[in-house]
Amino acid sequence: MIPATAYPAPLPLGRNAALELLTRVDVFDATGGEFLTFVQIPVEERVGEWRFAGASRSLAQAVRRVEEFAGELRRVAPGLPADPLRELLDNTAGCESDGFVYPRELPVAVGCPHRIVVCVQYGAPYEGLGAGVVEVESVAASSFAGVEPQTDPPEEWEGAESQ
């Protein structure tokens, strides 16, 4: 794992540190490390499903995967935000101490030693959208080794446009 001092603040990053990271994301292209990215997508009112968005070998790429993942799903769900991580961080001011909005444990089993870089999700009454980046000792040792990003639309979305 990369040294803790490589991050802009102690992990997991709070709202302000994560927003700072987004403004300087290119600086983190050379960090090295191994990262897994997850996005929570809404599947029905107030219910979300965490999806694997991909593995990365730099913190910058891990953060960019959130936007790339959303771009894939926006083809079938144009109402999804183009950049969910930024939207979540922009809209959760004052919620930093809320353990649901900023969980200290990832809501997904990673299957190997890891540490949360950033994880944020909407709380009531807007549950269903979230984003998380974790650093792992080894992607190969994780539950997501060889797994492609889970960009297939959930069954709950089928026919949603016609309703």
Q: Please report the pLDDT score of residue 163 as a whole number.
A: 41
CA-closest candidate to residue 139, choices 100, 117, 111, 160:
111
Residue 163 resides in a domain: no
Residue 127 resides in a domain: yes
Residue 107 resides in a domain: no
Residue 48 resides in a domain: yes
- The pLDDT tens digits for 105-122 are 888 999 999 999 999 998
- The total domain count for the chain is 1
40 pairs with which residues across the strands? 50, 130
Supply the range of the domain harboring residue 28: 9-100+114-137
Residues 6+ apart with CB under 8 A from 23: none
What are the distances in angstroms from CA 23 to CA 7, 8, 36?
Answer: 14, 12, 20
Q: In a 10 Å sphere around its CB, with 0-12 CB exposed, 13-18 middle and 19+ buried, how is residue 28 labelled?
A: buried
Residue 156 resides in a domain: no
Q: What's the pTM?
A: 0.90
The whole-angstrom separation of Cα 69 and Cα 53 is 6
- The pLDDT tens digits for 50-80 are 999 999 999 999 999 999 998 898 888 878 8
Give the angle 91-96-97 at the CA atoms, nearest 5°.
140
Residue 128 resides in a domain: yes
Q: For a pLDDT cut of 70, what percent of the chain falls above it?
A: 96
Residue 144 resides in a domain: no
- The pLDDT tens digits for 31-55 are 889 999 999 988 877 788 899 999 9
User: Rounded to 5 degrees, what are φ and ψ at 86?
Assistant: -65, -45
CA-closest candidate to residue 151, choices 37, 29, 61, 35:
37
Residue 55 resides in a domain: yes
